[in-house]
């Protein structure tokens, strides 16, 4: 029993992965500030390795975007000087080899590598040496650092939450049971209201 538990703990300490739960994110960007302060020693979220992308109103989503430390990274493939390498599961950039071509930035399928005018080399998460500051700072637990083998659980949770939104919804109107799907809601309702000028044009055309 104890042995099993030990083995479990051992596997936990071996590989941890940084992942996000966008449904929880409020978009406060505290992660960006602590990242820049910890890694660059400056109060500048524009130098952070993690950024929150906000979309509104269709769909409403706040997505913290950060490197996933891929096993077969596109950024590494695309680097013409082999400046990108993997060390203990963390994808790193050797700044001495980097020539600042930003091929990695555009090749990342998630857009998780950033650039800033002050810096020649790209900005990429290296997990703060195994103690990601954004995870500790997030007030909503939207950024989590979990054993790799539980990654699916987070994704399953996300998917389940999405499914719940996409499913039909039952509701009562004047005592009559009705159904409405999320997809319907997304396309209906938000008609473009006419401006005063358009209204006048329309009126004139009718006359």
Partner 1 sequence: MMLLSSEGTEGGARIKGGYLGNILHIDLTAGNSYVEEYDEDFALKYIGGRGFGAKIVMDNLKEGVKPLDPENIIVIAPGVLSGLYLPSSGKTSFVSISPLTGIYADSNMGGMFGVEIRQAGYDALVIHGRAKEFSYIWIDDDTIEIRDASKYKGMKSTETERELKEDLRDEAVKVATIGVAGENLVKFACVNSEWSRNAGRTGMGAIFGSKNVKAIAVRGTKDLPVYDMDKLVELSDKAYKSLHEHPMMKFWQEEGLMSVIDYANTLGIIPTHNFSDAHFEDADKINGEVMTTRHKIGDSACYSCPMACGNICLVKSGKYAGTVTEGPEYESAAMLGSNVGINDFSAVLRGNYLCDELGIDTITSGSMVATIIEGYERGLLSLEDVDGIALSWGDDSSIMLMLEKIANRDGIGDVLAEGPYGVIEKFPQLEPIISHVKGMDQSAYDGRVGVTMALAYATSDIGAHHARAWTIAKELEVGADWTLEEKIDLVIYHQTVRPLFDMLGVCRLPWIELGFDENTYADFYAAATGVKVTLDDLLEKSRSLYNLTRAINMRMGVTRADDHPPERTFNDPIKTGPHAGEHMDREFFERMLDIYYERRGWDTGGRPSDEQLRECGALELLNNR
CB of 37 to partner 1, least distance (A): 6
39 binds partner 1 (CB under 8 A): no
Which of 12, 15, 17, 37 is in the footprint of partner 1 by CB under 8 A? Answer: 37
Give the shortest CB-168-to-partner 1 separation in angstroms. 11
With CB under 8 A as the contact rule, which of the stretches 1-9, 43-51, 64-72, 122-130 interacts with partner 1? 43-51
Query: What is the smallest separation between the CB atom of 21 and partner 1, expressed in angstroms?
Result: 12
Under the binding rule (CB under 8 A), the answer on residue 177 touching partner 1 is no
Q: Are 34 and 135 in contact (CB under 8 A)?
A: no
| Distance in Å, CB of 203 to partner 1, minimum | 12
Distance CA 109, CA 16 (A): 21
Among 49, 51, 68, 124, binds partner 1 (CB under 8 A): 51
- Residue 15 lies near partner 1 (rule: CB under 8 A): no
Choose among 137, 120, 32, 130: nearest CA to 83. Answer: 120
Tokens of 1: 């029993």
Q: Report the residue number, 99 or 180, with the smaller CB distance to partner 1.
A: 180
Q: Which of 5, 41, 71, 177 binds partner 1 (CB under 8 A)?
A: 41
99-110 as b/e, with b when 16 or more CB fall inside 10 Å?
eeeebbbeebee
- Residue written as tokens 């799907």? 181
Q: Does 34 bind partner 1 (CB under 8 A)?
A: yes
Residues in CB range of 54: below 8 A, 6 or more apart: 27, 61, 62, 63
Give the number of residues written for the chain: 207
Report the distance separating Cα 84 and Cα 57, nearest Å: 38
Which of 165, 166, 167, 201: binder of partner 1 (CB under 8 A)?
165
Q: Give the number of C-alpha atoms closer than 13 A to the C-alpha of residue 133, restricted to the C-beta side.
A: 19
Q: If binding is defined by CB under 8 A, does position 190 make contact with partner 1?
A: yes
């Amino acid at each position: 029993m104890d042995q099993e538990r030990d083995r479990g703990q051992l596997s936990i300490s071996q590989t941890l992965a940084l992942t996000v739960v966008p449904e929880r994110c409020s978009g406060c960007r505290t992660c960006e500030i602590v990242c820049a302060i910890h890694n660059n020693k400056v109060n500048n979220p524009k130098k952070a390795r993690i950024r929150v992308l906000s979309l509104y109103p269709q769909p409403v989503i706040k997505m913290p975007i950060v490197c996933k430390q891929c096993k077969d990274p596109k950024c590494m493939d695309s680097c013409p000087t082999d400046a990108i390498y993997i060390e203990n599961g963390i994808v790193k950039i050797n700044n001495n080899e980097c020539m600042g071509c930003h091929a990695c930035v555009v090749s990342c399928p998630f857009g998780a590598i950033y650039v800033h005018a002050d810096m020649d080399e790209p900005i990429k998460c290296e997990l703060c040496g195994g103690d990601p500051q954004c995870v500790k700072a997030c007030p909503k637990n939207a950024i989590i650092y979990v054993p790799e083998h539980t990654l699916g659980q987070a994704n399953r949770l996300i998917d389940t939450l999405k499914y719940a939104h996409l499913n039909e919804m039952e509701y009562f109107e004047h005592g009559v049971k009705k159904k409405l799907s999320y997809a319907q809601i997304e396309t209906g309702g938000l008609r473009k209201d006419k401006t005063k000028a358009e209204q006048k044009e329309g009126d004139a055309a009718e006359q």
